[in-house]
Structure 1
Amino acid sequence: MGLRPAGAAFLLLAALLPPAAVAQPVTLRVAAQEGTEPKFIPAGPDRIIGLCVDIFRTIERIDPGLVFIGDQQWMPLIRAYHEVAIQQHDALCAVQRTEERERNYVFVDPPLFPIHYMLMVRADDDVVINNWDDVRKLGKDGMVLANRGYATTDFLIAQGGLQINASATSPAMNVQKLVAGRARFFLHRSPGLQAFIARAGATGKIRILPQVMSTAQLHMAMGRHVDPAVVARVRRALEQMEKTGELARLLKKWD
């Protein structure tokens, strides 16, 4: 018994299309992490833009069988990490690899982009900082603000001998603390630092010190429950983005 014309056409189409296009799309659950500009940036009451949103859309274009959902919904960063760890979400965009996080997530190479940790001070503060010893010498006058749940806090603790306040849950809160004189420094990451200061309403009130205090790479992190074959597909898409210069172009766009 021969195939009907429609059936034959479907089989021919299936033979011509790559496997990812024939199979059901794989949905990867994510969230827009609060306070992580330029990864996720509010662009109105119902729209979120940013570097990570562009990365998601580019991966979907390269591999149409992958679909990221949830990047238009805000979530505190600490909760976003937790949701992946308990298998309620599947991926985190642009996070720093740490020993603790290695136990909960699969970090995908290549890295998405590097970040540079910079110190900010009030605009009228003429302090000169070349290294962490300069900060330590200030003692209690060298209080450094960081954010609870961010890799920045772990990094500061590891330096030893620093006065650290990591009670704030968002970078914007720490900007206001710095402006109010509740600490001498705020350690945050670039790219996108000047734009972040502007969105926090602190243009002209704080300045970025020129010395890079540390550099790290940010990765796509997947939940350990995600099928390794799906992780491999994300990796292949990122490898293509790196090879074609797409990752560098997106970073330049949001720097």
Structure 2
Amino acid sequence: MLSKGLRCGLTLLCALLGTPVLAAPTVLKVVAQEGTEPKYIPAGIGRVVGLCVDLYRAIERIEPNVVFSGDQQWTPALQALSQLASHEHDALCAVQRTEERTRQYVFLEPALFQMRYQLIARAGDPVTVNNWDDVRNLGPKGIILANRGYTAPGMLERIGGLQVDASASTPAANLQKLIAGRGRFFLHRAPGMQGFIDRAGATTRVRILPTVMATTDVYMALGTHVDPAVRQRVQRALEQLDKNGELARLLRKWE
């Protein structure tokens, strides 16, 4: 590794000779959020794939001076959110915008994709749900499992009149609670829902109810400490990916 003095000397020499000095790329630290398929999906020992991994690489191709580092390192989803707020890393992919989060992060336009919320029930449960009133009418027999610390519990509270259990903090835990009969439904998000069920070995034990109960957009979020010039480069890349259809193609790939 070159010493600071030698680097300065080389920079001065390049300037005197008229040779352009290539700036080092800006590294944005990220993490792979556990339990957020298809954003991040385990693919064997030490390997993570998914929509967000592909999106980081697509941005890097458009903006070679921006590099995302850390997407092969697993971190609990709630911890990843708090670490971005405390500037322990720099960016998160596909984050829902809430009033609290707008004070903690900078959200970039355009939206990456729209997230759909659907109910999962046990395979042998003949229940039919067309709207939230159908769930309300079940009373204590209509308990909805939701992930603690995610946005779903707050959304269900705002809808009102529902029986909600948000004591589990991961989708995997809630899926097992559902199978064990400790709730009538599990409210989870698509895209990626069927793949999550399949990888959990629960394909024949649960079923996804077809009604879309709610939708929300998700965005790229950067820490408030990130240089505004870097934010602009990432935003321009996202705009280009949206216009050329690459964002839609990535979503279809991981649907």
TM-score (normalizing by structure 1): 0.92
**Where do 1:40-189 residues align within 5 Å?**
40-189=40-189
Structure 1 residue ranges, 4+ long, deviating more than 2 angstroms after superposition: 6-14
Distance apart, 1:151 and its partner CA = 1.2
Distance apart, 1:192 and its partner CA = 1.3
SS in structure 2 of the partner of residue 124 of structure 1: coil
For the 8 Å contact 1:25–1:64, the answer to whether it is kept is yes
Distance 1:179 1:24, change over 3 A: same
Percent identity between the two aligned chains: 60
| Distance in structure 2 (CA, Å) of the matches to 1:166 and 1:246 | 35
| Aligned-partner residue type, residue 219 of structure 2 | H
| Distance in structure 2 (CA, Å) of the matches to 1:153 and 1:254 | 25
2:3 corresponding residue in structure 1: none
1:220 matched to 2:220: yes
SS in structure 2 of the partner of residue 168 of structure 1: coil
For the 8 Å contact 1:77–1:149, the answer to whether it is kept is no
| Distance in structure 2 (CA, Å) of the matches to 1:253 and 1:185 | 27
| Distance in structure 2 (CA, Å) of the matches to 1:7 and 1:32 | 39
Deviations 1:103-156 (A, max 9, x none): 101111001111110001000111111111111111111100010111112111
| Aligned-partner residue type, residue 118 of structure 1 | Q
| Distance in structure 1 (CA, Å) of the matches to 2:229 and 2:153 | 34
Distance apart, 1:10 and its partner CA = 7.2
| Distance in structure 2 (CA, Å) of the matches to 1:241 and 1:96 | 19
Distance apart, 1:23 and its partner CA = 2.1
SS in structure 1 of the partner of residue 149 of structure 2: coil
Distance apart, 1:213 and its partner CA = 0.3
Distance apart, 1:11 and its partner CA = 3.7
| Distance in structure 2 (CA, Å) of the matches to 1:32 and 1:71 | 5
| Distance in structure 1 (CA, Å) of the matches to 2:248 and 2:219 | 14
| Aligned-partner residue type, residue 229 of structure 2 | A
Distance 1:204 1:101, change over 3 A: same
| Distance in structure 2 (CA, Å) of the matches to 1:189 and 1:11 | 55
1:236 corresponding residue in structure 2: 236
Deviations 1:177-228 (A, max 9, x none): 1111000000001111111100111001000111000111110011111111
Count, aligned residues = 243
1:3 corresponding residue in structure 2: none
For the 8 Å contact 2:96–2:219, the answer to whether it is kept is yes
Gaps of 5+ in 2: 1-12
For the 8 Å contact 2:14–2:20, the answer to whether it is kept is no
| Distance in structure 1 (CA, Å) of the matches to 2:181 and 2:161 | 21
| Distance in structure 2 (CA, Å) of the matches to 1:8 and 1:231 | 28
Gaps of 5+ in 1: 1-5, 15-21
Instruction: Point out the more displaced range, 120-129 or 153-162.
Output: 153-162
Distance apart, 1:157 and its partner CA = 1.3
| Aligned-partner residue type, residue 33 of structure 1 | Q
| Aligned-partner residue type, residue 91 of structure 2 | A
1:18 corresponding residue in structure 2: none
